Structure 1
Amino acid sequence: MTHFTLSGIFIYPVKSLAGISANSWPVTERGFQYDRKWMIIDNDRQFLSQRKLPRMALIRTALTDKNLILSAPDMENLSLPLEPVAGQIINSTIWHDQCDARSVSAEADKWLSDFLKLDCRLVYQPDEVIRRVDPDYAKVNDQVAFSDGFPFLIISKNSLVALNHEMQMDLPMTRFRPNLVISGCPAYEEDTWRAITIDAIDFRLPKPCSRCAIPTIDPETAQIGKEPLTTLNRTRKWQNKVYFGQNALHDQCGQLTVGDVVHIKSTGTKQPPI
């Protein structure tokens, strides 16, 4: 059985805000604990992302034992409880999904609205709300928080090395917002993986990740460039979409730690077939 190494773990507590790198992190039924537990919505109850507001990239997140902390240029830090008190239920929209979410606080809404220069609200996913994964790619009990569609995004380190070589650039992995980074395999080998095990957790990889414009946003400045989409359009395009990384679902809860061995259990034809 082929094996490689888990070399990166990333959590994004608030959808489309900056993420957190961790050495070890719990895996729950919905994915990494606190990953995309919160999101920002507009007055139409639609989720907001860097696609519409690149300035969201400048909001940093941190987690302590009891709090989610948001920080941004020229703003006082905002500290929020990890287990918010019950707020108003708001039926919110993520792509084609309608999800019940709870408001966090008027203080959080004002802080975000002031920085983003747009009326918006911060909401979280209560434990009792279950959001199912698309049944075309999932088992009946698979669930997810406020990620676009899947609990995990996997990218191999050498895929980014190869892409940077094509671009003659040195973009960081954070541009692509993975949850799991795998080292030791050839570039784009994850395109062929169908089932892998990391430590004692089994993963299914049903679908490649099509990329939007978010990787063109510099997370340090929120400035928008042409790469990596220009090069991905030339090298990783299939059926009018570009792909980088693989979506994944998990079969057990547990704990993942950087350095864990990654076993490749089964492979198939490349997805996308390029």
Structure 2
Amino acid sequence: MNSTSRCQLGGEIFRKLDNGIVKIMILSEINIYPIKSLRGISLQTAEIDDRGLKNDRRWMLVDENDSFVTQRVLPRMSLIDVAIDARGLMVSCDGFGSQMFELEPEGAVSRPVTVFSSTVPGEFYGDAINEWFSDVLGRRLRLVRMPASSRREVSEKYRLRDSDIVSFADGYPFLLIGEASLTDLNAQLAEPVGMKRFRPNFVVKGSEPYEEDRWRQFRIGANTFYGVKLKGRCVVTTIDPATGTVAGKDPLLTLSKYRGGVLDGKRGAFFGQNLIAEAAAGTVSVGDSVEVDIYHDPPVEMDRK
């Protein structure tokens, strides 16, 4: 019988077997971003549900037109911390104190809100929390929650089933990046950047640089996932999450030079893999093994790999 014990050599993780050792990959980070485009929360264990990780991007700020707002237009959103527990959510920002609000708005008014090309129901919160966000960000904003009855469908081209839905995330239930991919990118930058610039749900240790591009079917612990579309990056990657300001053209400029390509007729710079889970339930934990069952070539021809 093979042993399942692990050892670490030179920063890489191996599993001891009866006939030797093999290199393995593990889940090294789990992150959720309860309110779209605000700071994330790192977890040791997370639950999977029908639209991603539990409490990931289930809340969102909207403008006067009930359309979503992100760091793309308000970089200071990156300065707002979020905490969540059974009592509710707490948001805080230096100089503005903190504000707590319930997970589900009491007596909420529901009306359509827009996220990119999707229009779905949103439950609106009251004046107190809206005024706090407006003060911090200098613009009239309102907080909305995605009710359980909302059905925002994954793109027909990339979904696995008609039942695949997503939260207020850009387009897919999960985003994964390998640690080695960031290490490779940083080797090409004048100033290295942290993983927070890219806002992944899952970070994997032990893979080769950009290996996740080719993962069609793989497992994290007992959960099966499918890589469905490479993640096209935008100006959010140029925002320093510590200062809430644009820090220059990198890493987006450098990514565009060697990770640029065309997907769906649009040119982009790609970093990370969007995922869909096989089941709408399950649990993932930091330290879970990551094992690839099927590799494929993604439908993007990079300018230079």
Range class of TM-score, shorter chain: over 0.9
**Contact 2:23/2:206 (CA < 8 Å) preserved in 1?**
no
Instruction: Tell me which of the two structures has the higher relative contact order, counting C-alpha pairs closer than 8 angstroms and 6 or more residues apart.
Output: 1
CA–CA separation in structure 2 for the residues paired with 1:31 and 1:162: 28
Gaps of 5+ in 1: none
Task: Choose between structure 1 and 2: higher strand proportion.
Answer: 2
Alpha-carbon offset, residue 270 of structure 1: 4.0
CA–CA separation in structure 2 for the residues paired with 1:126 and 1:161: 38
Structure 1 residues 31-55: Cα deviation after superposition (integer angstroms, max 9, x where no partner): 1111000000000111000000001
**Contact 1:2/1:264 (CA < 8 Å) preserved in 2?**
no
**Contact 1:215/1:228 (CA < 8 Å) preserved in 2?**
yes
**Contact 1:41/1:122 (CA < 8 Å) preserved in 2?**
yes
Q: Which residue of 1 aligns with 2:229?
A: 207
Alpha-carbon offset, residue 204 of structure 1: 0.9
Match of 1:104 among 115, 120, 125: 125
Q: Which residue of 1 aligns with 2:249?
A: 226
CA–CA separation in structure 1 for the residues paired with 2:63 and 2:26: 40
**Is 1:243 matched with 2:264?**
no
Aligned residues: 274
Q: Which runs of structure 1 show a deviation greater than 4 angstroms over 4 or more consecutive aligned residues?
A: none
Q: Which residue of 2 aligns with 1:59?
A: 80
Secondary structure, counterpart of 1:256 in structure 2: strand
Secondary structure, counterpart of 2:187 in structure 1: helix
**Is 1:150 matched with 2:177?**
no
Structure 1 residues 145-174: Cα deviation after superposition (integer angstroms, max 9, x where no partner): 100110100100000000000114321101
Give the TM-score normalised by the residue count of structure 2. Answer: 0.87
Of residues 140-149 and 262-271 in structure 1, the stretch that sits farther from structure 2 once superposed is: 262-271
CA–CA separation in structure 1 for the residues paired with 2:254 and 2:92: 33
**Contact 2:174/2:201 (CA < 8 Å) preserved in 1?**
yes
Alpha-carbon offset, residue 136 of structure 1: 1.0
Match of 2:156 among 122, 135, 139: 135
CA–CA separation in structure 2 for the residues paired with 1:66 and 1:31: 22
Alpha-carbon offset, residue 3 of structure 1: 4.8
Alpha carbon RMSD of aligned pairs, Å?
Answer: 1.4
Letter in 2 for 1:104: Y
Letter in 1 for 2:185: L
Identity of matched residues, %: 36
CA–CA separation in structure 2 for the residues paired with 1:148 and 1:270: 20
**Contact 2:133/2:141 (CA < 8 Å) preserved in 1?**
yes
Letter in 2 for 1:112: F
**Is 1:176 matched with 2:198?**
yes
**Contact 2:229/2:273 (CA < 8 Å) preserved in 1?**
yes
Secondary structure, counterpart of 2:196 in structure 1: helix
**Is 1:264 matched with 2:285?**
no
Alpha-carbon offset, residue 226 of structure 1: 1.4
Alpha-carbon offset, residue 131 of structure 1: 1.4
Find the structure with the greater CA-based Rg.
2
Q: Which residue of 2 aligns with 1:43?
A: 64
Letter in 2 for 1:233: S
Check 1:271–1:245 CA distance in 2 against 1; reply closer, same or farther (3 A cut): farther
Give the TM-score normalised by the residue count of structure 1. Answer: 0.97
CA–CA separation in structure 1 for the residues paired with 2:107 and 2:295: 45
CA–CA separation in structure 2 for the residues paired with 1:189 and 1:18: 27
**Contact 2:229/2:298 (CA < 8 Å) preserved in 1?**
no
